[in-house]
Amino acid sequence: MTQDPWRIPATHDPQTREHLARWEVLRSAGRFEWDAERSATWQQVPMTPPYAALRELLASAGLDPDTALRPAHDDCLSQLRERAAAWSVQQAAAAFVAGLWSAPAAWRSALPGVLIARVMPAHPFTPWSASSSDLCEVCGWRRGPVQLLQAWAFRLTAGTPLDGEPAGYAQVLQWLGDARPEPTEYDRWALGALRTVLRSLPAATRYSAAAKAIAAAKILRGAHTPTAVLEDLALVGVLAPPTHPGMAERFTSYRERDARPNQRVEVQAPLAWWDSNVGQHGVRAEYFDMLFGGLDIPTVSLDAPRPVPLPAAKDSLDGGLAARARALAPKQPKAAASVGDGPAAAGDVWAIRLEPGRWVTVYVHEMRERERAYAHAEFLAGVFSDLPDAADIPARVQPRRSGRAATWVHSLDRTPWMRRIAQGRHAPAGDGARPHDGGWGAAKELRHLSSWHYD
């Protein structure tokens, strides 16, 4: 019987890490941009020979980067309920705790997925609004294709689907299959240690400071894991304020969860409304005990000796991923140094590598001070396989479909794979007047903006 290549292992399997590392190389070298054919943003991967070989290895293993899924709303909800029915809440809670260390992060998805499936009411697709008619305001399902390899890699390294989205949970429960991992001594200690950190926080501490305290205690792997785990614990109800309950208490709609105290809060409810005054020192003890009470979670002193985490961080899927991806990445020829000295200036032409084997250029019309120096940059015609030089500079701009456009950017001279190739050049020709407006941001954003100008 052929093993499903998408099956998520219950351990930090070296072969799975090899697949992840190949994808990480392709993802890092490619571009995440709008794909008009798919009508969706898509992770585009470079097709130059060294990268094409990595892509072929993934495709031959059954993990083609172009594999897409278009889940229908009603089918998605049916699949989520069917797959969640194979789990008990106790099994899902055990898998969640295992996903804190000994099992890949995807296993944390079991608990919120099972709880959402149990409490979400049957409902038709209900558009969020006339202008956001692709989003269901009840469950958060969104119309459009899903790039399966991208989603699979995120589950393995980052954990749960974003904001309780049901299609993501239906898919990850299928990938988890029939395994039911049990937490190790370190996994149980880690959840107890998280509870200890939360209970030690000053009154009214918000989630961002709590995540920093967890990171400082060195309980979990990964810079973003503390915030992600806090979001998970809030969604299931352990950190949910009574006014914004989690799924162990009752179902909350996507519209309810999308309410935030202010625009600066990035996470959804319940965590958006949490602080350390919630429950008993930040923890709703009744839901902690309901979900994790059968797992012998210890009361932890962070000053006492710790259990040994297994596997070691460097041997885990996510902890060892960066090093393996660096080893697999094709070696890139070093680009020549920039022409001239000093920061960007009016009349400069800068070359920008979008991905291996794909360069474009921008012209700097003027400089302006706004807390730092910003260059008003406009794309020029032409795409180059290698770093262009002064003789290659086009004489015309590359407009968007709607016409000429420019952007104010800072740090051209400090952004990797951007090189000044000429100074003191005359302004390029173009149809219509030179644009004087445009957004403000970092030079690295030019790579994303290029998709509006070049096919």
Does position 52 have pLDDT exceeding 90, yes or no? yes
- Residue 388 covered by a domain: yes
- Cα 135 to Cα 177, 247, 251, 374, 440: the distances in Å are 28, 20, 18, 37, 29
Q: How many residues does the structure list for the chain?
A: 455
191, 140: one domain: no
198, 294: one domain: yes
Residue whose C-alpha is closest to residue 345's, from 359, 366, 328: 366
pTM: 0.85
211, 107: one domain: no
- Residue 127 covered by a domain: yes
What's the average model confidence in pLDDT over 145-159? 95
Give the tens place of pLDDT for each residue, 73-83: 999 999 999 99
Residue whose C-alpha is closest to residue 34's, from 436, 324, 450: 450
Give Cβ neighbours of residue 51 (< 8 Å, ≥ 6 apart). 25, 26, 29, 45, 330, 356
287, 365: one domain: no
Residue whose C-alpha is closest to residue 66's, from 126, 144, 147: 147
- Residue 329 covered by a domain: no
- Residue 372 covered by a domain: yes
Q: How much is the pLDDT for 2?
A: 59
- Residue 337 covered by a domain: no
Domain-ending residue, one of 155, 176, 197: 176
Q: How are beta strands 440-442 and 407-410 bridged, if at all? A: parallel
172, 203: one domain: no
170, 35: one domain: yes
169, 23: one domain: yes
Give the tens place of pLDDT for each residue, 323-359: 999 999 998 778 888 898 889 999 999 999 998 889 9
32, 117: one domain: yes
Q: How much is the pLDDT for 188?
A: 98
Domain-ending residue, one of 119, 146, 176: 176
- Residue 9 covered by a domain: no
Does position 1 have pLDDT exceeding 70, yes or no? no
- Residue 339 covered by a domain: no
19, 117: one domain: yes
196, 305: one domain: yes
- What is the domain count for the chain? 3
42, 65: one domain: yes
- Residue 147 covered by a domain: yes
137, 46: one domain: yes
Give the tens place of pLDDT for each residue, 366-415: 999 998 999 999 999 999 999 999 999 999 999 998 999 999 999 999 99
Domain-ending residue, one of 176, 200, 218: 176
Handedness of CA 343, 344, 349, 353 (dihedral sign): positive
Residue ranges making up the domain that contains 381: 349-452
